[in-house]
Copies of this chain bind each other. A is one copy, B any other.
Amino acid sequence: MYFSIMVSIVLLGAGNVATHLYTAFQQTPKVVVKQWYARSLSAVKSHASEVAITNNLDEITLADVYVLAVSDTAVASLSSALPFSERLVVHTSGSVGIHDLDKKNNRGVFYPLQSISKHATVDFKTIPICIEVLRKEDLLPLTTLAEAINSPWRKVNSEQRAALHLAAVFANNFTNQLYRIAHEITEQKSASFDLLKPLIKETARKLDELTPYLAQTGPAVRNDTKTIKKHLQLLTNTQHKAIYKLLTQSIQETHGTKKL
């Protein structure tokens, strides 16, 4: 015997996450997007033939889940402004607390752990959804949403979600800034940054086989002071020099090799 569950939602917000979620939800028969709310109708009116749209909170219809895919700063006020109670309301943010949602409704988080840009195509199959709920019975509609768009999902608590969001800043934003610095270093000598791209991809791919601890190579972990000195002399930007020193120290503390 097989029970197929269908979940109805109202989507609120018109940014990157909202737009990509809308597209994904529209592609599965397991989710019905009953309505799309945006503060400004112009942001969603190109979809008016497929879905009911509104910019009036008083017009919001009944649904199993209300997905607030809005900016971090808008979550609390929008959730308070909802003219109903005791329904399931979730936000999609990594850093906003579940208790920032107004307690008149049942609260949850549906956080896609990925950096989602407006124009890039988004493949939810590869995007883990971190799900947080306060009541056990709110888990099923949210896991059903995740599975409907083929996303792997994981139940997390508030502390874990905060840790994942913080770790993502290191693994994504800060990593990308290191790419930027590498770009500046190569450009300065008219060397091609493109030559580094296979190395960058391999560094990420290696995590399929090894922990970052075991994957580490290079002058810092070898305590190759001659090369480290040479590199510090080559760096003209004092901030890049400071980053080089600090990350070299960090590697050497992790691996128990000598400090600079």
Residues of A within 8 A of B (CB): 72, 95, 113-115, 117, 120, 126-128, 130, 154, 156, 159-164, 166-183, 185-186, 188-193, 195-209, 211-213, 215-221, 224, 226-227, 230-231, 234-235, 239-240, 242-244, 246-247, 249-251, 253-254
Contacts and interface: CB of A to CB of B under 8 A. Distances in A.
Contact of A130 (B195, B198, B235): B195
Given A175-B200, A200-B204, A250-B239, A218 B169 contact: yes
A198 to B, nearest CB: 5
A178 to B, nearest CB: 5
A212 B176 contact: yes
Contacts of A191: 156, 160-161, 163-164, 167
What's the number of copies of this chain in the assembled complex? 2
Contacts of A180: 211-213, 216, 254
8 contacts: A115-B202, A164-B196, A169-B220, A170-B243, A170-B244, A173-B247, A174-B243, A177-B250
Given A115-B218, A199-B115, A247 B166 contact: no
Contact of A177 (B162, B185, B204, B216): B216
Given A177-B216, A178-B178, A182-B167, A195 B128 contact: yes
Contacts of A253: 239
Q: Which 9 A-B pairs give the minimum distances between C-beta atoms?
A: A173-B218, A167-B182, A180-B212, A179-B212, A160-B191, A163-B189, A204-B204, A171-B182, A167-B185
